[in-house]
Amino acid sequence: MGRGRILEEIHHLDPERDHQRIMFLCACFEFPFDMVRSLELALFRTFCVPSISALLDRTGEFAHRAQKRYDDTDLIISTLIDYGYDSDRGRAALRGMNQIHGRFAIRNDDYLYVLSTFIYEPIRWIDRYGWRPLSEPERQALFHFWRAVGRRMNIQGLPADFEAFERFNVAFEREHFRYCETNARVGAATREMFLTWFPLWLRPLARSAIHAVLGEPVRAAFGFPRPPRLVGVLLEAGFQVRRRLLRLLPDRRNPVLRAERTPRSYPSGYRIEQLGPPPH
């Protein structure tokens, strides 16, 4: 049994009306690894914007509780994807996220940019490293999914179509990506958190691999060094080998539900109400 059954279902769905189902199939069946890695990259990119990194730096969440901050974000996003934003769990996740954000003065354009990274970073990553590129219905479904989430977050000025939001994403990065100390602190704290996932002997190589995956604009905004060229070459080759091997595998039979995993910060399980920084 080869690939194709899930993609065939996707092509029988409407990307605007059925975007929650398409998102679920993409993230939980077709590209579970790629969706997680691309959203991690999206997280990094948001820290290249000084107004965003300054707020995160002031909270101290990344300096003192980087793993919990990562897990909280991951669990909220995963709940929306795995169960849908209008499910009981999805509504609870959105309610909690809106309460967290309501404590801070956040610019609307910063909200728009962060939301846009959840659409375009997965598309760019999967087109480059996934076992196949995303189809047009999948691309449109990602747009409609996150736009619907944005409406439920009361974000203003949401672009009306895929192309307009992508233009906003590109223009925003061009205007706002630049080095500053808060970028460097939040970026370094996040990188060091990821490195704790590796054994000590592997961390120097893992650090260079992270720098390679981030790309030059992000490295420059963080003040990270350029990695050895060989690291980038080997990483690219490894991803391309993986891409070819995955094409040989059959469709996944069971979904990968990240919201059901046991996070490092919550070894005994978690409740949606626990997610987010402590109230001040």
Global pTM value: 0.95
Per-residue pLDDT reduced to its tens digit, 2-17: 578 999 999 999 999 9
Regions of the chain where pLDDT drops below 70: 1-2, 279-280
Q: What is the pLDDT of residue 2?
A: 58
The DSSP code sequence of the chain is --S-HHHHHHHTS-TTTTHHHHHHHIIIII-HHHHHHHHHHHHHHHTTSHHHHHHHHHHTHHHHHHHHHHHHHHHHHHHHHHH-TTSHHHHHHHHHHHHHHTTS---HHHHHHHHHHHHHHHHHHHHHHSSSPPPHHHHHHHHHHHHHHHHHTT-SS--SSHHHHHHHHHHHHHHH----HHHHHHHHHHHHHHHTTS-GGGHHHHHHHHHHHH-HHHHHHHTPPPPPHHHHHHHHHHHHHHHHHHTTSPPPSS---GGGS--TT-TT---GGG-SPPP-
Domain boundaries of the chain, sorted by first residue: 5-178
Q: What is the pLDDT of residue 1?
A: 43
∠ CA 146-185-51, nearest 5°, is: 50
Per-residue pLDDT reduced to its tens digit, 214-262: 999 999 999 999 999 999 999 999 999 999 999 999 999 999 999 999 9
| Amino acid at the residue 242 | R
Q: In the numeric block, which tokens belong to residue 235?
A: 């990483």
Q: What is the pLDDT of residue 21?
A: 98
What does pLDDT average to over the chain?
Answer: 95
